Structure 1
């Protein structure tokens, strides 16, 4: 009996992952409005009932798809900032990542379209707020660890730096989605301007 339960749980996990994978491709290709649960079910090889047994509706499915995208982006950023290199090298790697990681037209368009749903859906709004706060927390952790290792400090509180960088990233993403020539080097410039050598404990500034 235990083996049957595990088998069912595994099948459900595989079904859920397949639905998210297909939904992600569709949401990116044709947008939130252009994607239907019927189309996702057919493309994934399941019934519409399988979709509803895993997700309450299209909003929850889109949130799950965006979670996968965000997890990938965060993993890459964490990878850049935990490299065994100098701070300057990490900033350079981060800017290089931002050239392809920010402003992807399909991803940016989906983020904007789904954010608009939050105006009329309190659940979407609250879930997006939770995720934005978590991203800011993770950015703050990365900044704190990086500047500590480099014996630097931020010119404003770390949480404010994290908020500023998240806002800058969102804004740059939107701009680059429309105009790929927008230079992402501003990321490194802004971050470099928000840190300074740590003030000595002997009173030196």
Structure 2
């Protein structure tokens, strides 16, 4: 097996530190985790941590970014895996049951939000994470509408889908907080709401198309 180059070793060290930080933050939370804990878990010195991450808040932000990328990949796989809309939404419900309200993830996000209150750099990270999540949902809704035979890129429809994505994301965030406290709360309402939103958007498209046809007939 060929020896790793210096840059490859550095990348490997960083990735292993990031995975160790993720496991530790999710298990014990932000406040209770130290950089010494993370270094020990990964099998490196504390100096190795500082060589890759300037401070604990930055490292936590990187961990949340990693978690969001993993969750985004999972959601995309779920929403593009079924052959029908109902099948995709059923798969989404199963994913929500296992992911929404995960105590470690939800509480870590909360701690990071509190931490960012007086740090614009960290606040910007939260804004970016939310924007990425919104983008994922909006794309999934556009794909669902397109699969039904409608033009999801038309300006007014695109705006409807952007607003719908905001609603789904905000509801999901709120429900995840509640489920972190009471895991018995059902996640089916998210999938049901998404289904209703898609039906509403397609109804709007059909209504606009009908109005256009009537106007053309009168001219």
Q: Same fold (TM over 0.5)?
A: yes
Task: Report the equivalent of 1:67.
Answer: 65
TM-score (norm 2): 0.85
- Length, aligned pairs only: 202
Q: How many Å apart are 1:49 and its aligned residue? A: 1.4
1:164 equivalenced with 2:167 (yes/no): yes
1:103–1:177 contact (8 Å) kept in structure 2: yes
Cross-structure match for 1:28? 26
Between structure 1 and structure 2, the one with the greater Rg is 2
1:165 deviates by 1.1
Residue aligning to 2:217: none
Superposed displacement of residue 156, structure 1:
6.8
Q: Which moved more, 1:154-163 or 1:39-48?
A: 154-163
The answer for unaligned runs of 5 or more in structure 1 is none
1:195 alignment partner, SS class: helix
- In 1, Cα distance between the equivalents of 2:47 and 2:184? 45
- Residue 199 in 1 paired to residue 206 in 2? yes
> Contact 1:99–1:184 at 8 Å: present in 2 too?
yes
Write the mapping of 1:72-83 to structure 2, written as runs, cut at 5 A: 72-83=70-81
Contact between 2:68 and 2:129, CA under 8 Å: does it hold in 1?
no
Residue 157 of structure 1 aligns to a residue whose secondary structure is: helix
1:144 aligned counterpart, secondary structure: helix
Q: Provide closer, same or farther for how the CA distance between residues 87 and 53 of structure 1 changes in structure 2, counting only shifts above 3 A.
A: same
Give me the whole-angstrom Cα distance separating, in 1, the residues matched to 2:94 and 2:28.
28
In 1: Cα distance, 2:42 partner to 2:141 partner = 40
Q: Distance in 2 between matches of 1:72 and 1:144?
A: 21
Q: CA RMSD in A?
A: 2.2
Deviation of 1:122 after TM superposition, in Å, equals 1.2
Asked whether the 8 Å contact 2:141–2:198 carries over to 1, the reply is: no
Residue 110 of structure 2 is aligned to residue 112 of structure 1: yes
CA distance in 2, matches of 1:32, 1:149: 42
8 Å CA contact 2:144–2:198 kept in 1: the answer is no
Using the TM superposition, give the Cα deviation of residue 15 of structure 1 relative to its aligned residue in structure 2, in angstroms.
0.4
**Residue of structure 1 equivalent to 2:130:** 132
Q: TM-score, normalized by length of structure 1? A: 0.91
Shift of 1:123: 0.8
SS of residue paired to 2:162 = helix
> Offset of 1:155 from its aligned partner?
10
Asked whether the equivalents of residues 155 and 195 of structure 1 are also in contact (C-alpha less than 8 Å), the reply is no
* 1:49 equivalent among 47, 50, 56: 47
